[in-house]
């Protein structure tokens, strides 16, 4: 693998950088730099700017409105977005349900759903996990019973991210209880405005209702919203989750946070008159994180090289997910260590969109606790890291 960019790729990198400087709205840049949570309208506005440029869906095929970029260009784009602080698209529509619709949906479903996903006219959310089906997702109980030209759905989903904003939800539902649990699951698209759906926010430890419980009580869903074949949903779900895990690695975001961590260490005293950046123990840990982040990036590049010759992401996506999320949590711990007692008395309201106070900056002490608490989920969602190690054991080691 040659990690050097060609002249054309370097020119593309400069094009992306220039675009971000000119087109990423200044008010959104200020919010991102100040660790202020972006609103739904903020995220949709930025996504529509990308759509207008033709850059909304780098991973989509050109026939559906994608960019036609190769894997290296996609990597460059994602890296520059992360370093600049520009938010990635909310993944549930663009990166998760859309590829499933493209691969397994009917032509009618593609024409109905894909254009609105591409243009960010519709907000999607995910209905996978349940109160008693998390890491063991195949144990899900939400049922869908076929009655004529529709399904009747009953059950509950949980840890539903940003579902309070969603127009549609893609769900795994049980359509057959008489077979092996993985073989009785179907993939269903459901309009969130359908009668019988109730969304109940779950306030997380950082004070924000990022996730929800979603209840289905005799919800009627047109049979035409079934993706692919009935009882084949587990196959489709595995494809979706493989791509999700690769995306969770977050190399570009990690690089940006590392810059902020180093800056904060320069500004923080070590208690004996020096800066933490010069403390031998802390400097060693900082170097270890930087080395591991670089190793993670090269692993991601090797995965991209494999994809570029037609290979599908396999167990390496689990490796990227484990290392990327655990590395992010280690950086969280270092931010909290630098913040000291300043990380304890945080006020969640100062991170909301209407905050008009002091500039906080990425990784500052005021945001350390919020980020630490929120990112404890990283090693759980997208398939817990313990489950990922089982996948690696089977696929790589043959155990």
Q: Strands of 162-316 (E only): list them.
A: 168-174, 185-191, 197-202, 211-222, 226-227
Report the distance separating Cα 253 and Cα 273, nearest Å.
32
Report the distance separating Cα 105 and Cα 46, nearest Å.
28
Query: What does the DSSP 8-state code read for residue 37?
Result: P
Burial degree of 77 (CB within 10 A; 0-12, 13-18, 19+): buried
Strand partners, 386: none
Dihedral (CA of 153, 154, 158, 163) sign: positive
Catalytic (active site) residue 230: no
Q: Strands of the chain (E only): list them.
A: 124-127, 143-147, 150-161, 168-174, 185-191, 197-202, 211-222, 226-227
- Rounded to whole angstroms, what are the CA distances from 284 to 98, 277, 280, 281? 43, 10, 6, 5
Number of residues in the chain: 399
Q: Which tokens hold the place of 325?
A: 């999320």
Q: Choosing from 80, 130, 244, 316, which is the catalytic residue?
A: 244
Q: Which tokens hold the place of 132?
A: 């008693």
Report the distance separating Cα 304 and Cα 310, nearest Å.
10
> SS3 for 231-276, per residue?
CCHHHHHHHHHHHHHHHHCCHHHHHHHHHHHHHHHHHCECCCCCEH
CB 135 within 8 A of CB 383: yes
The residues annotated as belonging to the active site are 244
């Amino acid at each position: 693998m040659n990690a050097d960019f060609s002249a054309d790729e370097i020119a593309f990198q400069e094009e992306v950088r220039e675009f971000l400087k000119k087109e990423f709205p200044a008010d959104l840049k200020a919010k991102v730099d100040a660790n202020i949570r972006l609103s739904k309208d903020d995220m949709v506005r930025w996504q529509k700017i990308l759509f207008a440029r033709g850059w909304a869906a780098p991973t989509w095929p050109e026939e559906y409105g994608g960019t036609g970029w190769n894997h290296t260009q996609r990597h460059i784009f994602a890296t520059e977005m992360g370093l600049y602080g520009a938010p990635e698209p909310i993944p549930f529509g663009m990166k998760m349900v859309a590829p499933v619709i493209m691969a397994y949906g009917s032509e009618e479903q593609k024409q109905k759903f894909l254009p609105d996903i591409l243009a960010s006219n519709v907000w999607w959310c995910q209905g996978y996990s349940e109160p008693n089906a998390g890491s063991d997702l195949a144990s899900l109980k939400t049922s869908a019973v076929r009655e004529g030209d529709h399904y009747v759905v009953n059950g509950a989903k949980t840890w539903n991210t940003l579902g309070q904003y969603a127009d549609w939800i893609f769900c795994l539902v049980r359509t057959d209880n008489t077979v092996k649990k993985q073989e009785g699951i179907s993939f269903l698209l459901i309009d969130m405005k359908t009668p019988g759906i109730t969304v109940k926010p779950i306030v997380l430890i950082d004070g924000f209702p990022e996730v929800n419980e979603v209840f289905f009580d005799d919800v009627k869903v047109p049979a035409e919203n079934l993706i692919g074949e009935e009882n084949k949903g587990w196959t489709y779900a595995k494809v979706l989750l493989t791509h999700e895990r690769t995306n969770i690695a977050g190399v570009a975001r990690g690089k940006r946070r590392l810059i902020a961590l180093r800056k904060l260490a320069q500004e923080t005293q070590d208690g004996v008159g020096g800066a933490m950046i010069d403390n031998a123990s802390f400097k060693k840990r900082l170097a270890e994180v930087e080395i591991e982040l670089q190793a993670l990036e090269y692993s991601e590049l090797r995965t991209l090289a494999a994809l570029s010759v037609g290979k599908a992401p396999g167990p390496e996506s689990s490796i990227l997910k484990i290392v990327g999320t655990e590395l992010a949590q280690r950086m969280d711990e270092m931010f909290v260590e630098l913040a000291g007692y300043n990380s304890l008395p945080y006020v969640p309201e100062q991170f909301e969109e209407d905050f008009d106070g002091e500039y906080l900056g990425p990784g500052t002490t005021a945001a350390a606790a919020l980020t630490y608490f929120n990112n404890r989920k990283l090693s759980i969602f997208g398939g817990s890291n313990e489950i990922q190690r089982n996948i690696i054991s089977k696929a790589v080691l043959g155990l």
